[in-house]
Amino acid sequence: MAWLYEIGVGKYFNQSQQENNATEFYNYFINYGATIEAICGMLGNITRESTINPGIKQGNSASLGWGLIQWTPSTVLTNWCKSYGYNWYDGAAQCERIKCEGEGTNGANGYWIPTSDYSYSWSEFIALTDVTETTKAYLYERERAGVEALDLRLQYANEWYSYFTGSPVPPIPPTPPLKLKRKMPIYMMLKRY
């Protein structure tokens, strides 16, 4: 397999194309050491941003977003790729850029920004084992798109988890009920009037 791309505005990918590129993305980040949950959290966001088409453009202007995560302005991606000899629409190059942003290396620092609610460092993020948490953390620490389509991003992340594991995301166990400590039998606590 290899990365698929279609350069242009509105070049949305169908399910087969998305699965191809999601597998390429998965292979890159699993070999890097990320958990499947972190990968699926990123893919949930990326599916919403670009349908996993690294050649997609929000518009032809350089001030608009391009690529997997819709780098805005697009020159953030295109100039970085040019300086390292990559084609901007290459999915593998964009994975490298995402990794470098997280690590703050190779001229890609300042893009992974922990928040008060999601204060994970990149190394903590790629080790997380909860799909919902990774989807939200990537949205708030990297995408910074507010709550725009959070439910859709979570849905996509869960679908990618099922796709790669063959099973649904495990439910979050319920909080155990509080055990009341009684010092006297309940009938003694009741008052008769």
> Which pLDDT belongs to residue 144?
82
Alpha-carbon span 29 to 144, nearest angstrom: 21
Total-model pTM: 0.86
Question: What's the whole-number mean pLDDT along residues 96-115?
Answer: 92
> Which pLDDT belongs to residue 61?
86
Question: What's the whole-number mean pLDDT along residues 15-28?
Answer: 98
Catalytic residue among 24, 37, 49, 159: 49
100-101-104-105 Cα dihedral, nearest 10 degrees: 30
If one compares 24 and 177, the residue with the highest pLDDT of the two is 24
> Which pLDDT belongs to residue 136?
94
Token pair, residue 162, equals 């099922």
Give me the phi and psi of 8, to 5 degrees please. 145, 170
> Which pLDDT belongs to residue 169?
76
> Which pLDDT belongs to residue 72?
93
**Do residues 62 and 73 lie in contact, with contact meaning Cβ atoms separated by under 8 Å?**
yes
Helix (H, G, I), strand (E, B) or coil at 57: strand
Alpha-carbon span 172 to 23, nearest angstrom: 26
Write out pLDDT tens, residues 42-70.
Answer: 999 999 999 999 999 998 888 899 999 99
**Do residues 37 and 161 lie in contact, with contact meaning Cβ atoms separated by under 8 Å?**
yes
Write out pLDDT tens, residues 136-193.
Answer: 999 999 998 766 679 999 999 999 999 999 988 776 666 566 555 556 565 555 666 5
Write out pLDDT tens, residues 31-45.
Answer: 999 999 999 999 999
Write out pLDDT tens, residues 115-125.
Answer: 888 999 999 99
Alpha-carbon span 89 to 172, nearest angstrom: 38
Residue 141 among the catalytic residues? no
Q: Which residues contact 121 (CB under 8 A, 6 or more apart)?
A: 114
Identity (one letter) of the amino acid at 37? Answer: E
For tokens 């009341």, the residue is 180
